[in-house]
Structure 1
Amino acid sequence: MENGNNIYKVNLINKEELKITGKGESDVWRKSEVLSQFISPWDSKEPSKIEFRALYDGANFFFCFTVFDTEIHIDTTDDTADSINNSDRVELFFRPNHSLNPYYCLEIDTQARIMDFIAYPNKNFDFNWNWPKGDISVKSSKNDSSFTVEGAISLDSLNKLNLIKGNKIEAGVFRAKYNSKINGNFEPVWITWIDPETETPNFHTASSFGVFHLMD
């Protein structure tokens, strides 16, 4: 599974060096690798540019999505999973191993609302499960050219879920983009770091995951 195209190097920073603001503006992010090789295998149109960054320290795994898109669709019906699921969002999936039994999903919209759930093979989702609230923090912002979703996840929670093995985390990095159609409905375009090589859009498959390598 591991090759140069599906390994992202997560650089180490000093503890408490990075503070999450939702703007991704800290100079500390300059220490990160920039992942921008996102594709939409099921759509002929090239997606808007996405930059993903990650860092870690002795306590937290930090991530930052910058999406160069200003036409954002948000379902504001309520704050339930259904509304988040119908909104433009970024996504991180984590798995202990290739079996996907289980794996963990974080889907975050541009208002920093989190749809978090545990999943099992064949898209068996349990929305009653949530990431421990004290172990995740997410903030977001928008400007004239892009939106940013920035977050921190405790290493303790990742370890308790058996997600860090030999300084590596198996992860998927995705985006859902909703476009308006002539009939007024919004339809999603699915954007991914790793091409899962499925006939129809599917992030919930083993082939959609890459590796975050926590560097010493």
Structure 2
Amino acid sequence: MPPIRRGVLAVAAVALLFGIAACSGEGPRELTVTEFGFPWSEKPSPRTVFRTRTDGDLLRFAFEVDDDDVVVSDAWDGESTVDGEDRVEIFFARDADLADYWCIEIDPLGRVHDYHARHYRVFDADWDCPGLKAEGSSTPTGYAVRGSIPLATLAELMGRPIGRGSELRVGLFRAEFRGEGPEARGEADDNWISWARPAVEKPDFHVPEAFRTIVVP
């Protein structure tokens, strides 16, 4: 297993399907996304929860996933290993047209595939997210992933200061694979979970409609 480290980003504007709730209490304010779904399937999707908040000079985030068939590889053949696994994904985009965006994909063990991208699907696999930390753990109902990104890293990517109250264009996704064979590992409509319903016929998160703007809590 490689060292635990960094992960994925992207952004865009969106009209869509799922809900976001911001809450504040005694501690730091937190943004919670609870409504994810299958944009390309009528099936009910398993539970996915995303949370994020600032903590000093970091943006912390976490995914909680219900999954009764966690697909993860015992072997590690580089970051592309993550492509065939269950995973959560967070993308950050500099602009609504996805001229520049960054992707972090994290498997249930906390292993990362991160890359820079340009619309449409022009990928730079050599990019690594500076300062990214990620970890994964099993839970009674599936798995959880937690991570953090320095706000300074996001500021460099976005070309402007990023902190509490800043706007970020973000994509939040999940790959939900099962069993064996391509029909269960990326080619089925119910392999892909999103907080948005992109206006495309085939599953694809690398489009502007897959993103929306959040306010950094």
Smaller-chain TM-score bracket: 0.7 to 0.9
Q: Distance in 1 between matches of 2:46 and 2:19?
A: 22
1:204 is matched with 206
Alpha-carbon contact 2:169-2:212 (below 8 Å) kept: yes
Q: Secondary structure at the match of 2:158?
A: coil
**TM-score normalised to the size of structure 2?**
0.81
- List runs of 5+ in structure 2 lacking aligned partners: 1-12
1:19 alignment partner in structure 2: none
Tell me, yes or no, if the aligned pair for 2:16 and 2:197 is still in contact at 8 Å: no
State the identity %.
27
- Asked if the contact 1:10/1:55 (under 8 Å) is kept, the reply is no
* Contact 2:133–2:147 under 8 Å retained in 1: yes
Q: Residues 1-216 of structure 1 correspond to what in structure 2 (within 5 A)?
A: 1=13, 8=20, 32-132=30-130, 135-162=131-158, 164=162, 167-180=166-179, 186-188=184-186, 189-215=191-217
**Once the 2 structures are TM-superposed, how far is the Cα of residue 4 of structure 1 from its aligned partner?**
9.0
The CA deviation at 1:9 is 6.3
How many angstroms does 1:122 deviate by?
1.4
1:152-184 CA distances to partner (integer Å, 9 max, x unpaired)?
111010001116497111000000011225x68
Local SS of the residue matching 2:155:
helix
Per-residue CA deviations over 1:124-178 (Å, capped at 9, x if unaligned) read: 111011111xx21111110221210011111010001116497111000000011
Query: Secondary structure of the residue that 1:94 maps to in structure 2?
Result: strand
CA distance in 2, matches of 1:159, 1:213: 14
Distance apart, 1:187 and its partner CA:
2.1
Residues 12 and 80 (structure 1 numbering): CA distance in 2 closer, same or farther, change over 3 Å?
Answer: farther
Residue 203 to residue 185, structure 1, CA distance change in 2 (3 Å): closer
* Aligned-residue RMSD, C-alpha: 2.7
Measured in 2, the distance between the counterparts of 1:11 and 1:119 equals 32
Q: CA deviation at 1:78?
A: 1.8
2-side partners of 1:61 and 1:160: how far apart?
A: 14
Runs of 4+ in 1 over 4 A off after TM superposition: 1-14
CA separation in 1, counterparts of 2:175 and 2:16? 25
Q: State how far apart, in whole Å, the 2-side matches of 1:207 and 1:184 are.
A: 26
Deviations 1:106-129 (A, max 9, x none): 000001001000001110111011
Q: Amino acid of the residue matched to residue 51 of structure 1?
A: V
Partners of 1:102 and 1:196 in 2: CA distance: 18
* Separation (CA, whole Å) in 2 of partners of 1:68 and 1:184: 22
Higher relative CO (Cα under 8 Å, sequence separation at least 6) belongs to 2
Q: Quick one: which amino acid aligns to residue 177 of structure 2?
A: Y
Report how many residues are paired: 198
The 1:169–1:12 alpha-carbon spacing in structure 2 relative to 1, beyond 3 Å, is farther
CA distance in structure 2 between the aligned counterparts of 1:58 and 1:37, rounded to whole angstroms? 28
